[in-house]
Amino acid sequence: MTDSTKTASLRHPASGNRSFDVPELKVEHLEVRYGDLVGVADISLQVEAGRIVALLGSNGAGKTTTLSAIAGLIRPSRGRVAWRGESIFGQPAYAIVSKGLALSPEGWRLFVTQTVEQNLRLGATALADRSRLDALFARVYALFPRLAERRRQAAGTLSGGERQMLALGRALMSEPSLLMLDEPSLGLAPAVVDALYDTLGELHRQGLTLLLAEQSIPLALGIADYAYVLQTGRIALEGKASDLQRNEQVREIYLGLSRDHHTGVQA
């Protein structure tokens, strides 16, 4: 992938035959504080079934904190998080995973001394129907044949691209309805990123809903239906991805050129 802008523009999913009436995930006025430090100031967003929704923003905009709060890894200070109409605000991560939401985190967070297969099995801990386990292993290995080849290899010996495959595969082992991904392209070679985004497109075609946090504007907007642009813990702009691709304000916000500055916000 030598020209990410050109490649991404060709990936935009054809979703005219999908129905986007019902929000599966709805976040209202989310705030996350770490003592006096504000991680997220005020975030409201929604993700309808079958969509790919992108969270855009530079490092420190609040993308990671937003996904971590939705996933139950950190407790929000205030706001509302609802999954299919049910409040999941403040629930623990294992309970949220069991409802059909999974997160593939930034930096992979693998158990490096355990094998590929052991890491994948840990992703299925919250799986309600254990009879599905073999089918889920087969699905992950079909998506990522390299993981099948390395299934008895320690995760810490994998390349960066293979670790990203494993992190994504582990999230899929819980058989989620909505998959959240935090900076999946970070630190990967362009060819690996290209293959990864092709896989995300395939998962979407199979019916998976995606909430994707990315710093790369061309990559995210090239695959998304709708996008939110974050700036210092707030939604600065939102709209259809196809519209935001042509919006110069996205670039201004991303580069920190807006006059509206807030302090004390971290990713």
DSSP lists the bridge partners of residue 43 as 30
Mean pLDDT (whole number) for 68-85: 95
Predicted model pTM: 0.83
Q: Is residue 200 part of a domain?
A: no
Overall number of domains in the chain = 1
pLDDT at 38: 85
Domain of 242, CATH number, reads 3.40.50.300
Tell me whether residue 213 is in a domain. yes
Q: Is residue 150, in this structure, part of any structural domain at all?
A: no
> What is d(CA 235, CA 233) in angstroms, rounded to the nearest whole number?
7
Q: Is residue 51 part of a domain?
A: yes
pLDDT for 104-152, tens place per residue?
988 678 999 999 999 999 999 888 788 889 999 999 999 999 999 999 9
pLDDT tens for 163-204 read: 999 999 999 999 999 999 999 988 888 999 999 999 999 999
Residue 88 lies in a domain: yes
Query: In terms of DSSP H, where are the helices of the chain?
Result: 4-9, 63-71, 93-98, 116-123, 133-143, 145-149, 160-172, 190-205, 217-223, 241-244, 248-254
5 is written with which tokens? 């802008």
* Residue 106: HSE in the Cβ half-sphere, 13 Å Cα cutoff: 18
Determine the structural domain holding residue 41 and report its residue range.
1-10+28-100+178-184+208-267
List the one residue out of 165, 69, 167, 72 whose CA is nearest residue 111: 167
Question: How far from 127 is each of 171, 176, 246, CA to CA, in Å?
Answer: 11, 9, 42
CA dist 114 → 32, 35, 91 (Å): 33, 35, 28
Establish if 108 belongs to a structural domain. no
Average pLDDT over residues 241-266: 64
Q: Tell me the two tokens of residue 16.
A: 């005219």
How far from chain centre, in Å, is Cα 25?
Answer: 13
pLDDT in tens, 206-229: 999 999 999 888 889 999 999 999
In a domain, 96, yes or no: yes
Whether 94 is in a domain gets the answer yes
